[in-house]
Amino acid sequence: MIPEADISIVIVSYNVRDFLARCLESVRQATAHLQVQVIVVDNASIDGSPQMVSSQFPEVTLIHNQKNVGFGVANNQGFQLATGRYTLILNPDTLLGEETLLACQKTLDEDAVIGAVGVKMMDGSGKYLPESKRGLPGVWRSFTKLTGLYKLFPNSLFWNGYYLGSLNAGTNGDVEVLTGAFMFVRTSILHDLKGFDERFFMYGEDIDLSKRILDAGYRIYFLADEQIVHFKGESTQKAGFAYNKRFYESMVIYAEKHIGREGPWFLLFLKVATAFLGVGSWLGHVVRSLAGPLVALGLTYTVYALSHHLWSRYYFADENYFDQHNVVWTSLICSVIIVFNTWFYGWFDRLPKAKYLHAGLISALLMILVVFAILPAELRNSRAVIFIGWLCAYPVLWAQYFIRGGMIKSQQKRTVVVTNDAANQKFESFNTTKENHIFLGYVAGTNNSKSGNYLNDIGHLSDIIRDLKVDEVIFDAGSLKMKDILQHMAMPSTEVSYKIAGASAMVGSASGKSTGEIYRAEVSYRLAKPVYRRLKRLTDLLLALTAMITWPFIGSRIRKNFPFKSLIAIFSGGSTWISYSDENSRANLPPLKPGILNTSALIGRVIDGSFVDNMQNADICYVKDYDPTFDIQILIQNIKKK
């Protein structure tokens, strides 16, 4: 029999292993003096989350679903096992303060009419998240929220009813809706209401549950005195049409249940609004993804066109020396090759480095020479023009990023670490700290520290940020209290981002509008780098294309073991040719898609001086020393076996 707890904590997780680990670490710190039952419901994660929970948090009750059953269904599974008087519904991308649960429990203990409690939430940059307290949705409230009108009158209940503008974020008080990221509810109420309505798959179920709690005669209370961190967006990725479609479907269910005469107008408004938002989201994603390469394409094309013009005018003394049709095609081919290669090597990634540009341009030059060597003679222009254009592309591509300011900002992040353990060198093992940050030093986590290992103590953190022009602060959760971390994250600062370091990873986000980020301390794996991941994807596509072309000529036994639908899965990006042999590898190695084959064929080989003697070592060697020949050899070896 499971003993009764004070509080049951239910966390639904889907492919957020490192955030979940930090969340559970914060739960441990927050429950030291409480009888707490922690339940994690994993919705078929493929990133090793279940294995991580079992190995690192044996006290946690784990429910491992074989498919993603949705947020509401998964929470209800957890509610069925809950033995506590109170149940906390918690997102895995959150961090609790040490006294948060005690304060919530005390609030419900002292007032039997309060059915649920929420707290103030901050994003990864320490900024207040307005969804900490909300009002019930209607046509007008939804309109002012979606159009942004609420920002004009943030303290007005009429204009900002969606976020209950009349209740200051620093004031305790009654609210109408809590977010599913943190809902502290009486377990008896959850049982009486039968938990979440399972017709909601991912969105709207928290609004529906809040409405039903109010209808049952209970109050919902907002505790402004307590705060948590919510790395918004990581636990439920919001992607274009799919997100908006599910959001609209959820709101249809909500309107049918709770909105009367206003319902049809509410649904019409939502349908139009979600359509516009979906298109806008998709266009925004396309623009952000293609803006850099398209600008570079235009610039390099212009460079080549000018190179042709100047070379014909000053070298050949004839402005019409080159055929204009050939000039267009030569300029286009060269610029496309240059942009493709620099993109492939990572020049347009979020954190580009000079070596990415150098590698991309060198490979582009070789590709250009090969392409023009096989073209008909009448289509070949002067090699001098090709080389001049290639040389000029270098400063032009540099200028593009300097104008944007991206290169300067991304490569010059000035970082301090707040810790009581400056002698611990674990922070130096984080890849981002070594490659993309300027480490300024340590800040002592206690006031009045006199040690020479520290720049100063945490009481002077705001001065350090201002005087040293700090861009990023990393808090060591292993030596600091979460309450102190949350307090300093809430300090007013517009340009500083925060990371919180656990045992194996740092988690954080630049703002509430950006998804959370993970910074893991691990060996340098090739397949953790974008250029090698793109190389693996390109290898997948080329091998799948080869298999498709040769499909009519291969034996029936091979076709049976490599069904045609597997090729479709590879083309769509749902699968890869080669993935891990050992499922436990997903907990510690870079993520890979499900594979048609696995790395076990590497067992018995010597790779980079290491003998591969088991599946785990095969997985490690594959991602650490990845080369496309691995995929080809494994594929051929499996074909021979058939």
Query: 474 and 577: one domain?
Result: no
User: Residue range 494-498: average pLDDT?
Assistant: 71
Q: Which residues pair with 499 in a beta bridge?
A: 474, 508
Is the Cα dihedral 572, 577, 581, 587 positive or negative? negative
Query: Taking the CA atoms of the chain, what radius of gyration do you get in angstroms?
Result: 28
Write down the mean pLDDT value for the chain: 81
pLDDT at 408: 46
Do 544 and 558 belong together in one domain?
yes
Q: Is there a domain that residue 273 lies in?
A: no
Strongest mean pLDDT among 338-342, 399-403, 434-438, 609-613: 338-342
How confident is the model at residue 234, as a pLDDT? 47
Helix, strand or coil, per DSSP, at residue 201 = coil
Range of weakest confidence among 10-14, 294-298, 441-445, 522-526: 522-526
pLDDT at 120: 94
Domain ends where: 232, 251, 278? 232
Span 418-446, average pLDDT: 67
The band of 456, judged by pLDDT with boundaries at 50, 70 and 90, is confident
**Residue 34 maps to a domain:** yes
Q: Are residues 465 and 548 in the same domain?
A: no
Domain end: 495, 520, 545, which one? 520
Q: Tell me, what's the pLDDT at 321?
A: 84
Question: Would you say residue 1 has pLDDT above 50?
Answer: no
Closest CA to 486 of 168, 1, 29: 29
Q: What are phi and psi of 402, to 5 degrees?
A: -65, -35
Cβ 588 vs Cβ 47: under 8 Å? no
Burial of 354 (0-12, 13-18, 19+ CB in 10 A): exposed
In a domain, 564, yes or no: yes
Count of domains in the chain? 3
Residues 503 and 539 in one domain: no
Give the whole-number percent of the chain exceeding pLDDT 70: 82
My answer on whether 119 and 192 are in the same domain is yes
**277 in a structural domain:** no
Q: What is the pLDDT of residues 68-126, one digit of tens each?
A: 888 889 999 999 999 999 999 999 999 998 889 999 999 999 999 999 999 999 887 77
| Residues 539 and 495 reside in one and the same domain | no
- Is 31 a member of any domain? yes
- For residue 505, the model assigns a pLDDT of 58
Name the residue range of residue 497's domain: 413-520
Is residue 502 located within the same domain as residue 581? Answer: no
Whether residue 260 is predicted with pLDDT greater than 80 in this model: the reply is: no
Q: Is residue 368 included in any domain, yes or no?
A: no
CA 123 – CA 475 distance, rounded (Å): 15
Q: Would you state the pLDDT for residue 424? A: 58
Q: What is the pLDDT of residues 276-299, one digit of tens each?
A: 776 777 787 778 778 889 999 999
Report which of residues 589 and 300 the model is more confident about.
300
pLDDT tens digit sequence for 216-255:
999 999 999 999 989 865 444 444 555 556 666 666 777 7
- Cross-strand partners of 225: none
Cα–Cα distance measured from residue 592 to residue 267, given in angstroms and rounded to the nearest whole number: 40
Please indicate, yes or no, whether residues 128 and 16 belong to a single structural domain of this protein.
Answer: yes
Structure tokens at 275: 């359509």
Looking up tokens 């209950």 gives 164
Whether the predicted pLDDT of 44 surpasses 60? yes
- Is it the case that residue 162 has pLDDT exceeding 60? yes
Whether residue 468 is found in the same domain as residue 600 = no
- With tokens 């066109």, the residue in question is 305
Token pair 């359509």: residue:
275
217: left (phi > 0), else alpha (psi -120 to 50), else beta? left
pLDDT tens-place string over residues 322-336: 888 888 888 999 999
- Summarize pLDDT for 563-588 with one digit per residue, the tens: 777 888 888 888 898 998 877 676 66
List the CATH number of the domain containing 500: 3.40.50
- Rounded to two decimals, the pTM is 0.67
pLDDT at 415 over 80: yes
Q: Is the pLDDT of residue 599 over 80?
A: yes
- Domain membership flag for residue 76: yes
CA distance 348 to 241: 25
In terms of domains, do 215 and 88 share one?
yes
Q: Which residue has the higher pLDDT, 434 or 614?
A: 614
Residue 422's pLDDT is: 64
- Could you give the CA distance from residue 381 to residue 627 in angstroms, rounded to a whole number? 36
Same domain, 472 and 563: no
pLDDT category at 215 given cuts 50, 70, 90 is very high
Phi-psi region of 361 (alpha: psi -120 to 50; beta: other; left: phi over 0): alpha
Tens digit of each residue's pLDDT (9 = 90 or more) over 531-559 = 888 899 999 999 888 888 877 766 555 55
Reading the block at residue 283, the tokens are 């266009």
Distance CA 51, CA 435 (A): 30
**Residue 521 pLDDT more than 60?**
no
452 or 466, higher pLDDT: 466
Same domain, 495 and 618: no
Q: Is the pLDDT of residue 21 over 60?
A: yes
Provide the CATH number for the domain around residue 122.
3.90.550.10
pLDDT at 510 over 70: no
Domain boundary among 470, 488, 520: 520
Query: Is 282 inside any structural domain?
Result: no
pLDDT of res. 232: 66
- Distance, CA of 186 to CA of 142 (rounded, Å): 29
* Largest interatomic CA distance in the chain: 95
pLDDT band for 641, please (50, 70, 90 cuts).
low
